[in-house]
Amino acid sequence: MDRTGQIRPDDILLFCTQRNEKIRLAYFLEYYRKQGVNHFFFVDNDSDDGALECLRDQPDVSLWHTRASYRRSRFGVDWLNWLQRKHAHGHWVLTVDPDEFLVYPFCDTRPLRALTDWLDASSIKSFSAMLLDMYPKGRLDAQPYQSGEDPIEIASWFDSGNYTMARNKAFSNLWIQGGPRARVFFADAPAKAPALNKVPLVKWDRKYVYASSTHMLLPRGLNQVYDEWGGEKASGVLLHAKFIDTFGAKAAEELERGQHYAGSVEYKAYAERVRDNPQLWCKWSEKYINWRQLEILGLMSKGNWA
């Protein structure tokens, strides 16, 4: 289903790959439409839960379908890079998963276009938003998620201050780890904890590519989303609503398919812990209120946007 003919020159585009996430799509589309995304690009990886049909009927969605291997497309990156190269040149592009929700400075009062206009005026081409793992208080499966609900209402807690970062010389990006996954799932192997750095919002040029998921881009200058002389650049957060009741089934399925990063080591770690009462919440968990709270905690910054 190709509706790319509708796209106007200054539209903000969103790119997403998904598999069997129908239950999440209703709220996902609503959330990003409200922020001001004008057109959605979906690559559906062989869904059989009705997601394909659901997306096909959306007036602002262009949809591609594939049965090919997620792993061999470098976890969907190749599919999206190709679509972006073809359709996104000159547009602001947001690349997110169906369980990622962008929060940026002033997002409660200013639409996404205010941010992209400001980035344009400041000659900034890429915008950082680290992944913040959200989780419920109590068992992950205690409160079932219903289609259309805000998943952050269920998974409303996060770790506020246990992130570590290091420079990745090869791509000059920051490599951020930590959060509940490092704390609980990778307590014995912190080096293997998943990367949380992301650059999901980019003024696209056909010369650009995502090198590994949305963690880093080429050319490398696009990864320079951090200041090295003490100042703060503007940045946001991707609220990651992965850890809700659907997670157990998802982890089991993904483990079986073996289609995820580094031999699905992440899902192996999850599967082991998930069996015995998964509880990510701890006494020092922080309950999500709004972007200002995240900015005060130092997880994101307004930079010089005021």
Partner 1 sequence: MTASLGVVMLVHNALGRAEQVARHWAAADVPVVIHVDGKVPAKTFDGFRAALADVPNVLFSNRFSCEWGAWGLVAAAQAASELMLSRFAEVRHVYLASGSCLPLRPVQELIEYLADRPRTDFIESATTADVPWTVGGLDEERFTMRFPFSWKRQRYLFDMAVKLQRGLRLTRRMPKGLVPHMGSQWWCLTRQTLSAILQDPRRRTYDRYFRHVWIPDESYFQTLARLYSTNIESRSLTLSKFDFQGKPHIFYDDHLQLLRRSDCFVARKIWPHANRLYEVFLTGAADALNKTEPNPGKIDRIFAKAVERRTRGRAGLYMQSRFPNEDWENGVTAAEYSMFQGFAELFENFEPWVHSMTGARVHGHLFAPDRVHFADGQTALNGALSDSALQRDYNPKAFLTNLIWNTRGERQCFQFGPLDNQDINWRIAKDPNAQISVITGAWAVPLFRSNMDFADIRRIAATLQKIESEHMDILRSPFSKARVRIWSMAEFIEAPMEPLQGILDEIGQARIRRLSEAPKMVDLNGFGQFLQNLKNQGMHPYLMGDFPIERGSTSGADLPRKPYLVK
Which positions lie near partner 1, rule CB under 8 A? 106, 109-111, 113-114, 117-118, 121-122, 128-130, 159-167, 174, 176, 180, 182-183, 187-188, 190-191, 197, 225-235, 282-286, 298-306
Given the complex with partner 1, which of 23 and 37 has the nearer CB atom? 37
Given the complex with partner 1, which of 4 and 290 has the nearer CB atom? 290
Given the complex with partner 1, which of 3 and 192 has the nearer CB atom? 192
CB of 238 to partner 1, least distance (A): 11
How would DSSP label each residue in 229-298? Answer: SS----EEEEEETT-STTHHHHHHHHHHHT-SHHHHHHHHHHHHHHHS------TT-EE---HHHHHHTT
Give the integer Cα–Cα distance in Å for 83 and 88: 7
Q: Judge contact between 91 and 12, C-beta under 8 A.
A: yes
CB of 43 to partner 1, least distance (A): 27
CB of 95 to partner 1, least distance (A): 16
Given the complex with partner 1, which of 241 and 294 has the nearer CB atom? 294
Given the complex with partner 1, which of 143 and 172 has the nearer CB atom? 172
173-177 and 235-240 beta bridge pairing: unpaired
Cβ neighbours around 213 below 10 Å, total: 19
Q: Judge contact between 139 and 277, C-beta under 8 A.
A: yes
Given the complex with partner 1, which of 229 and 262 has the nearer CB atom? 229
Give the integer Cα–Cα distance in Å for 259 and 242: 17
Given the complex with partner 1, which of 23 and 119 has the nearer CB atom? 119
Give the integer Cα–Cα distance in Å for 61 and 64: 10
Give the integer Cα–Cα distance in Å for 159 and 128: 19
Q: Judge contact between 160 and 286, C-beta under 8 A.
A: yes
Given the complex with partner 1, which of 66 and 279 has the nearer CB atom? 279
CB of 286 to partner 1, least distance (A): 8
Backbone φ and ψ for 275, nearest 5 degrees, come out as -60, -45
CB of 23 to partner 1, least distance (A): 28
CB of 107 to partner 1, least distance (A): 11
CB of 21 to partner 1, least distance (A): 26
CB of 62 to partner 1, least distance (A): 25
12-18 and 92-95 beta bridge pairing: parallel
User: Which H or E run includes 24?
Assistant: helix 22-35
